[in-house]
């Protein structure tokens, strides 16, 4: 693959925390522009740590990591737009839905008129156009997660990092948001990296599933997902889908030993 097609590249990446915990070791990774990739692995293997390194929230101990050819911190500050969605929506309870979504633009110094113009279509995209003046306490868990997703999308990211965003939701809401997220990715064309413990979710959403080993985490398997797009709910009942989930589970078991 040509370097210009890669958005994220990690070579021999390692991170050891100050307390001595080795979170990642000898991790190599390449993510092409426009790809939706999922990461699974045992609890504590460093999945979320890897996302934070890509986001520039942590610094590696050794190795090299670039986003759009720059260090992650430089990429965040310069042209490569990057956004992250966490498991907890982390909404400000005293701000309305609209004002929560507008927060990144406000911090970037955008005018009120610019913020309003950007927020309205994003709220419509996630189905919250009728809830713009509501407050987080008035929303369901699924709706709060939609607000968090809209807040990430409003900056028009080139790279969207998602750290188990649907883990706390019931299965029906989770599957609905899976469908909506996949549709948004197809419409907007950003690069997605999705961390999850749910293998069926990883396979349904992604073009590729990376499996990490137990701590210190490294990549032990790279599984291609062949199912064509768009993907509907019927895919989850397909025997081929079940077989691929089983393959990912077996790789996960091997990496956990």
Q: Which helix (H) or strand (E) holds 16?
A: strand 6-16
Single out the residue in 156, 176, 193 at which a domain terminates. 156
pLDDT band at 26 (very low <50, low <70, confident <90, very high): very high
Structural domain of residue 119, as residue ranges?
91-156
Helix and strand tally (H, E) in the chain? 8, 9
12 in a domain, yes or no? no
Residues 168 and 207 placed together within one structural domain of the fold? yes
The gap between the terminal CA atoms of the chain, to the nearest Å, is: 32
Q: Could you tell me the CATH number of the domain that includes residue 68?
A: 3.40.50.300
**Each residue's pLDDT tens digit, 54-77:** 999 999 999 999 999 888 988 877
- Average pLDDT on 139-157 reads 93
Counting every residue, how long is the chain?
257
Query: Which of 129, 156, 183 is at the close of a domain?
Result: 156
What is the model's pLDDT at position 120? Answer: 93
User: 150-177 pLDDT, tens per residue?
Assistant: 999 998 899 999 999 998 888 888 898 8
Choose among 71, 57, 32: nearest CA to 222: 32
Asked if 244 and 135 sit in the same domain, the reply is: no
In a domain, 58, yes or no: yes
In which region does residue 174 sit, left (phi positive, over 0), alpha (psi from -120 to 50) or beta (all else)?
A: alpha
Q: Is the pLDDT of residue 257 over 80?
A: no
**Is residue 11 included in any domain, yes or no?**
no
**41 shares a domain with 118:** no
What whole-number distance in Å separates Cα of residue 193 and Cα of residue 38?
6
DSSP letter (8 states) at residue 137: G
State the pLDDT at residue 2: 44
Among 132, 156, 180, the domain boundary falls at 156
1-15, 84-98, 173-187, 195-209: range with lowest mean pLDDT: 1-15
Looking at the 3D structure of the chain, how many domains does it have?
2
Q: Do both 178 and 246 map to the same domain?
A: yes
Question: Are 61 and 130 in a shared domain?
Answer: no
Tell me, yes or no, whether 192 lies in a domain.
yes
Percent share of the chain, pLDDT over 90: 75
Mean pLDDT of 3-31: 90
Minimum mean pLDDT among 23-27, 176-180, 193-197: which range? 176-180
pLDDT band at 232 (very low <50, low <70, confident <90, very high): confident
Specify whether 96 is located in the same domain as 185: no
């Amino acid at each position: 693959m040509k370097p210009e097609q890669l958005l994220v590249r990690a070579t021999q990446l390692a991170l050891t925390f100050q307390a001595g915990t080795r979170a990642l070791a000898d991790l190599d990774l390449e993510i092409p522009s426009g790809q939706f990739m999922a990461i699974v692995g045992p609890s504590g293997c460093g999945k979320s740590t890897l996302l934070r390194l890509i986001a520039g929230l942590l610094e590696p101990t050794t190795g090299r990591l670039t986003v759009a050819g720059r260090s992650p911190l430089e990429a965040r500050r310069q042209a490569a737009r990057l956004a992250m969605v966490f498991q907890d929506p982390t909404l400000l309870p005293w701000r309305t839905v609209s004002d929560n979504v507008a927060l990144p633009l406000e911090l970037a110094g955008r005018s009120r008129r610019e913020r309003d113009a950007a927020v309205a279509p994003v709220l419509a995209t996630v189905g919250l156009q009728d809830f713009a003046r509501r407050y987080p306490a008035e929303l369901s868990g699924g709706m709060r997660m939609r607000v968090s997703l809209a807040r990430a999308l409003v900056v028009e990211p080139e790279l969207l990092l998602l750290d188990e965003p649907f883990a706390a939701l019931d299965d029906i809401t989770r599957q609905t948001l899976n469908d909506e997220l996949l549709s948004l990715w197809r419409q907007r064309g950003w690069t997605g990296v999705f961390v999850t413990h749910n293998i069926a979710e990883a396979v349904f959403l992604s073009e590729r599933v990376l499996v990490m080993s137990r701590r210190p985490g490294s990549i032990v398997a790279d599984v291609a997902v062949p199912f064509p797009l768009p993907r509907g709910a019927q895919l989850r009942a397909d025997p081929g889908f079940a077989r691929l989930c089983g393959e990912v589970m077996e790789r996960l078991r091997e990496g956990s030993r």
